Amino acid sequence: MKWITRERPKIDRIACPWLIRRFIDPAAEFFFVSDKEVIPQAKELDAIPFDVPGVEYTHYEDRCTFDYLLQKHALTDPALHVLAPIVRGADTDTHALAPQAAGLWAISAGLAFNIRNDHELLERGMLLYDALYSWARYLQQEKHTQSPTERLLLEVLHTYQQSAEKRRTPAWVSELKELIQDQIDTNLSLSLTDLSDSLAVNPAYVSRVFSRYFDNLSFGEYIRKLRIEKAVQLLETTSYTLSEIAYLTGFSDQSHFTRIFKKLMNQNPSEYRKKRQKGKADAKG
């Protein structure tokens, strides 16, 4: 099979070819072209386009193309499903999904910076994902620190870090809260990386400690919580349709909005609105 995607791959467009060659079609051939040439060249080459909007093999909601390949081809290898959130976290800048996601992004970005030929980049990336797969399958429980002395030194370090962090909340935490609150109404695709850059704080570090200062929630969970709070306000004070509220609160569509709302509020938004309206009517009566 022939596959085609956008040029200058980094995460998903390296991870997907690796997955295809290793688990779907060992003889697969890949083409990298400019954005506008993907669909025309796909038709000319009789190739399958992937990781571009409007095609089958692409992102869906919060899932990336790697996730879709796993689902489409019914790949059940547990190690692949360990890799999935790592790839997704690196590809979507949601590094809280897996502790390895920030590292995968850093290594992939560095490879793309150093290697300008996309096919050479793919071959180097194949080695990277082979290594990551071996770790996921055989080495997850393996620790780098094996000797008693190394473990003791790490315990001392971790104890010091924990006690130091308990003593004070970093200044960037309150600044980040303000930034998120300021942008939640206008920016429907908030990025922790962009916000961290605004604060001049390492995004990988912010991702790792985010939940400690934000209600024990990951960045994605915290943003969804704020959007649901905004949706509740709109349900109570406006006559907007559910589709309009979904759009205004940054969800991909009404179905996505309803699913997240029900998960957090234990009822559908339409049910919530009806109960609130009934409660107001009973109070007036």
Distance between CA atoms of residues 11 and 88, nearest Å? 9
Q: How confident is the model at residue 284 (pLDDT cuts 50, 70, 90)?
A: low
What is the homologous superfamily of the domain 221-284 according to CATH?
Homeodomain-like (1.10.10.60)
DSSP β-bridge partners for residue 6:
33
Q: Is 283's pLDDT higher than 80?
A: no
Which of 18-22, 59-63, 162-166 is least confident? 162-166
The distance of Cα 133 from the centroid of its chain, to the nearest Å, equals 19
- Angle of helix 118-134 versus helix 78-91 axis, rounded to 10: 130
**Which is more confident, 161 or 1?**
1
CATH 1.10.10.60 domain span(s) along the chain: 221-284
CA within 13 Å, CB half, 41: 17
Return the C-alpha torsion angle 267, 269, 273, 274, nearest 10: -60
Q: How confident is the model at residue 184 (pLDDT cuts 50, 70, 90)?
A: low
Q: What are phi and psi of 185, to 5 degrees?
A: -85, -20
Q: How confident is the model at residue 210 (pLDDT cuts 50, 70, 90)?
A: confident
Q: How confident is the model at residue 186 (pLDDT cuts 50, 70, 90)?
A: low
